[in-house]
Chains A and B, each alone.
Chain A
Amino acid sequence: MSDASTLSAEPLVIWLLAPYIAAFVVALLPACSAPLILLCSLTTALLGAWTLREGSRLELQLLQEYGVSLSLDPLAGWFLLLLGLVALAVWIEARRQGWDRSGWLLLLVLLGALNTSFLTTDLISLYVSLEVVAISAFLLILRGATANADWIALRYLLVSNTAMGLYLIGAALVYAQSGSFRFEALAALPPGAPLALVLVGLLTKSGVFLNGLWLPRTHAEAPAEVSALLSGLVVSAGALPLLRLEQLNDAITGLVAPIGLASAALGLIYALSVNDAKRLLAWSTMAQMGLVLLTPAAGGVMAFSHGLAKAGLFLTARHWPGRSLHDWHERPLAWSLQLPLWLGALSIAALPPLLGFSAKKQLLSVLNPGLSWLLLLLAIGSVAIYARLCQAPWRWSPQPPLCWGALLLTLPLLISGLVVVAGRPDAPALLQSLLVLALGVLLHLGRGRLNSGSGLDLPQLDRLSDLLGGLGVVGAGLLVAMAGGSQSLFTDGGG
């Protein structure tokens, strides 16, 4: 791959356009779908891996000053690698479900739009690619082909388009004040209405806190392969631009990090109380995306390990005997499903030697030490969540339903995690995670006792008016926080 070190503009642009061209070819000639999807997802994964290994940076400005600005850096490398792997795994599983040409077309368009949104560093190109992501995700949700799928998809596009309308107002204000649409121009402005509006749009896209209340039901009701795409990839299209903005200005980290922590807490509480396994995974996505946004220094690896594990977990959902968690411990699961389920669950619960453990360790090392006890509490909560999924008995049948896609996603978690942990063994961190595991299992047992007595009655937060109200509340909250100018805990950490 040494010749790739002379990466220049033309191959990158061809690579960005290739999925769209492939999508049209596939629509006309469905027989070509396999090589084209393989080519597009493998080149994306290879480009991501290459960027990470070389640690290289490439800044491009197409079509002069007001054109498209692209940036390929290690942060984007994590997301590209994730995108390539998840697209590949979803393709493997969707082939067995007999997707037709419209499904392949949507998968390729989604891949192309995500490629663009991961590289772009100006507000307008980002707007366009996020809208293409939203439209293709909307059409993929509609593949559920039920009345409920119609309603969920409609809700998703309505909320996302409203948020992007606010984002556009923010972009217009940025242009009016600084004469440019680039991220740098936004980050250089004093905090105010433009920043708040752009943040509301991006937070909604990444499914965080009150802006992300659309997420649990949408991810839970979609077909299994689509849920994997939504939870693994689509939310990170909003997270990467937020991380880039945080990189540019510490004050933005000070605004976004508290929302991330609140999101982690909200997602955890609801994931502990729901009784539907897919809904549990979806609420946990909201919690993990909050953790991704805490700091740009660890955000890439956090998003990568979470995306792999969550997409793998959702891919196994197709083969579950049922979704209710009440009798989850009575229905045995074949070992071929238990393996990816356990690997994914343990990785998100940040237990060694999986990759999630290393990611969480990196997050703790760059974060303000005052916050680490809060993160430990959250870690205990996520152990308790995933303990609920791991209580199904194992079944050793000779002809199990194999889920190659989920294995493709979760085995790298184990292998790369083993490599990292074996390379740098760290006894205190291992002990700490054992303690967290013990406390988490205790919390899980206590929760079971509590729930069997009186059910926890949390308010239902995902009606349409709640979703839209969430946008207004967070937007107003951001403006108040900016006016107060209070950045106490979050900005003075190392990072």
Chain B
Amino acid sequence: MAAIRLLELLILLAALAGFAGLLLRRNLFLKLLAMDVTGSAVVALFVLFAARSGLRSPILSRLADPDALGQASAELADPIPQAVILTAIVIGLSIQALLLVVITQLARIDPSLDVSGFEPPERP
């Protein structure tokens, strides 16, 4: 159980590092990569939560004996978070792709992609 706690902590640290990178990096592309770090941490968190009940893939046909199902299911991973995060991975990927397209457009204006170059100068 202690190992899972440690991993949980590391994953949350990764998410935090991604958020900090998003805040502190000045290059737009690096900001996007920092956002991806947060996204990967979220994926890892879901996979970790799925593994709390066990590490084996929850596929029934692989189980040798249906009678042994009761005791075997104790070691199976939880399929719900895995299924959920699959959707989130796909959405994250498509958003990443869309943002990269726009960043390519913006690079034509300012190839250095410095955020301050795009911020409008006027008051609110």
A142 close to B (CB within 8 Å): yes
Docked Cα-Cα span, A139 to B97, in Å, equals 13
- Total contacting residues, chain A, CB less than 8 A: 45
By a CB distance below 8 angstroms, the chain A residues around B99 are 154, 157-158, 161
Closest 4 CB pairs of A and B: A151-B118, A154-B102, A131-B91, A165-B38
| Cross-interface CB contact of A172 among B46, B106, B115, B119, cutoff 8 Å | B46
Docked Cα-Cα span, A139 to B119, in Å, equals 20
Least Cβ distance of A213 to chain B in Å?
A: 10
Which one, A50-58, A256-264, A458-466, is touching chain B? Answer: A458-466
Q: Is the CB of A128 within 8 A of B31?
A: no
Which one, B60-68, B69-77, B81-89, is touching chain A? Answer: B81-89
Q: Is the CB of A175 within 8 A of B124?
A: no
In chain B between 11 and 35, which residues have their CB closer than 8 angstroms to a CB of chain A? 12, 15, 19, 22-23, 28, 31-32, 35
Q: Is the CB of B49 within 8 A of A168?
A: no
A168 and B88 in contact, given A66-B80, A135-B94, A216-B124 (Cβ under 8 angstroms): yes
By a CB distance below 8 angstroms, the chain B residues around A279 are 124
Closest to B45 in A: A172
Closest to B110 in A: A147
A270 close to B (CB within 8 Å): yes
A154 and B103 in contact, given A273-B124, A465-B23, A469-B23 (Cβ under 8 angstroms): yes
By a CB distance below 8 angstroms, the chain A residues around B1 are none
- Total contacting residues, chain B, CB less than 8 A: 38
Least Cβ distance of B102 to chain A in Å?
A: 5
A128 and B39 in contact, given A66-B80, A158-B31, A458-B123 (Cβ under 8 angstroms): no
Q: Is the CB of B22 within 8 A of A468?
A: yes
Q: Is the CB of A128 within 8 A of B49?
A: no
What are 24 A-B interface contacts by the 8 Å CB criterion? A66-B80, A128-B87, A134-B95, A135-B95, A138-B98, A150-B102, A151-B118, A157-B95, A157-B98, A157-B99, A158-B31, A158-B99, A162-B35, A165-B35, A168-B42, A169-B15, A172-B42, A175-B49, A175-B81, A181-B84, A270-B124, A458-B124, A462-B124, A472-B23
By a CB distance below 8 angstroms, the chain B residues around A411 are none
Docked Cα-Cα span, A3 to B38, in Å, equals 49
By a CB distance below 8 angstroms, the chain A residues around B3 are none
By a CB distance below 8 angstroms, the chain A residues around B32 are 158
Docked Cα-Cα span, A161 to B22, in Å, equals 12
Least Cβ distance of A68 to chain B in Å?
A: 12
| Cross-interface CB contact of A468 among B15, B23, B98, cutoff 8 Å | B23
Q: Is the CB of A135 within 8 A of B98?
A: yes
| Cross-interface CB contact of B45 among A147, A169, A464, cutoff 8 Å | A169
B105 close to A (CB within 8 Å): yes
By a CB distance below 8 angstroms, the chain B residues around A469 are 23
Docked Cα-Cα span, A148 to B120, in Å, equals 9
Docked Cα-Cα span, A279 to B122, in Å, equals 12
The A contact surface, by secondary structure, is helix
By a CB distance below 8 angstroms, the chain B residues around A124 are 84, 87
B6 close to A (CB within 8 Å): no
Least Cβ distance of A214 to chain B in Å?
A: 13
Docked Cα-Cα span, A5 to B46, in Å, equals 41
With contacts A150-B102, A161-B35 known, what are 6 further pairs, Cβ within 8 A? Answer: A154-B102, A154-B103, A169-B42, A176-B49, A461-B124, A468-B19
A127 close to B (CB within 8 Å): yes
B109 close to A (CB within 8 Å): yes
Docked Cα-Cα span, A148 to B31, in Å, equals 19
Q: Is the CB of B19 within 8 A of A162?
A: yes
By a CB distance below 8 angstroms, the chain A residues around B31 are 158, 464
Docked Cα-Cα span, A274 to B123, in Å, equals 8
| Cross-interface CB contact of A154 among B46, B84, B106, B109, cutoff 8 Å | B106
Docked Cα-Cα span, A154 to B88, in Å, equals 20
Closest to B119 in A: A463
Q: Is the CB of B49 within 8 A of A131?
A: no
A153 close to B (CB within 8 Å): yes
Write out, one digit per residue, whether chain A residues 163-190 have a CB within 8 A of any chain B CB (1) or not (0): 0010011001001100001000000000
Docked Cα-Cα span, A238 to B120, in Å, equals 27
Write out, one digit per residue, whether chain A residues 143-157 have a CB within 8 A of any chain B CB (1) or not (0): 000011011011001
Least Cβ distance of B2 to chain A in Å?
A: 16
By a CB distance below 8 angstroms, the chain B residues around A458 are 123-124
Docked Cα-Cα span, A157 to B100, in Å, equals 11
Closest to B38 in A: A165
Least Cβ distance of B86 to chain A in Å?
A: 11
Docked Cα-Cα span, A175 to B109, in Å, equals 45
Q: Is the CB of B102 within 8 A of A153?
A: yes
Q: Is the CB of A150 within 8 A of B98?
A: no
Docked Cα-Cα span, A148 to B48, in Å, equals 41
By a CB distance below 8 angstroms, the chain A residues around B119 are 463-464
Closest to B122 in A: A460
Least Cβ distance of A217 to chain B in Å?
A: 8
Closest to A142 in B: B102
By a CB distance below 8 angstroms, the chain A residues around B84 are 124, 181
Least Cβ distance of A316 to chain B in Å?
A: 23
Q: Is the CB of A158 within 8 A of B91?
A: no
By a CB distance below 8 angstroms, the chain B residues around A157 are 95, 98-99
In chain B between 41 and 57, which residues have their CB closer than 8 angstroms to a CB of chain A? 42, 45-46, 49, 52
| Cross-interface CB contact of B91 among A128, A460, A465, cutoff 8 Å | A128
Least Cβ distance of A69 to chain B in Å?
A: 14
Q: Is the CB of A172 within 8 A of B103?
A: no
Least Cβ distance of B90 to chain A in Å?
A: 10
